[in-house]
Copies of this chain bind each other. A is one copy, B any other.
Amino acid sequence: MATLEPIRRRSLADEVYEQLRTKIVRGEIEAGSSLPAERALCAMLGVNRGALREALKRLEQARLVSIHHGGGTRVEDFRQSGGLDLLSKLIIGPGGSVDTHVARSVVEMRSALGPDIARLAALRATDSVKERLLEVVDRIDETEDLRALQQLSMEFWDLLVEGSNNVAYRFAFNTLHATYREISQVMTQVLAAELTDRASFRAVAEGVNARDTAETETRARELLRKGASGILELIQLMDSMKEGKQT
């Protein structure tokens, strides 16, 4: 009973939002083109105009469309204007499979940010964060189950982000975390090498406690490289398989 999840009830506006967002990010609605008029759209969708407008406002907030009073609603080029939160919508491609291009991008960003987050944590972490960091690595030492290690790894990085005292990293982490959550189930095995590298987790935690920025950064980079290489190899494999299918 541990994995029960609350069922998510979606309002009409949410459904409309998701439907339009999906069509836009998949390119089914051409960027630069105009959406049908609101009255026409809500007739097509069979919903109230208010519900539709709430959805459109969300799309505008996500910079997927731009609304002009009296001048219609145009679809923006999300690659040009989108924000980081689109990643969690893009990571799952059509058909439910992981989009390898997006996954590779996320892995690269993780590799670039992680070591600096660790470095700053070593520079600025409070005693409270340091303490909790050691507690987490203790639990990591005692844990064998990969799913549990995934969870602990996230707690570990969450603490490092908190220790870094950097709001930009916090927000980026929040978004990347949400993206990761979309695919965490299928990543468990690929990340095994990283998740079981208990020595590196501990080295980072102790580096932070010792305020050793250089060492902490290096060990964090090593830790992340294990998972990165696993994922990148898998991506390469998937891409070559897809290529083989096409030819």
Contact = CB atoms under 8 A, between A and B. Distances in A.
Interface string A194-229: 000000000000000000000000000000000000
A95 to B, nearest CB: 19
A174 B219 CA distance: 30
Interface string A26-56: 0000000000000000000000001001110
A3 interface: no
Interface in A149-208: 166-172, 174-176
Interface string A105-144: 1101101110010001000000000000000000000000
A236 to B, nearest CB: 15
Q: Is the interface of A mostly helix, strand, loop or mixed?
A: helix
Interface residues of A, number: 44
Interface string A41-73: 000000000100111011001100000010000
Contacts of A175: 83-84
Which 3 pairs between the two chains have the least Cβ-Cβ distance?
A105-B168, A112-B116, A109-B168
28 contacts: A9-B69, A13-B57, A50-B53, A58-B58, A58-B61, A61-B62, A79-B170, A80-B174, A82-B174, A83-B85, A84-B172, A84-B175, A85-B171, A86-B171, A87-B171, A102-B168, A104-B166, A105-B166, A106-B168, A108-B120, A108-B168, A109-B166, A109-B168, A111-B116, A112-B113, A112-B116, A113-B113, A172-B172
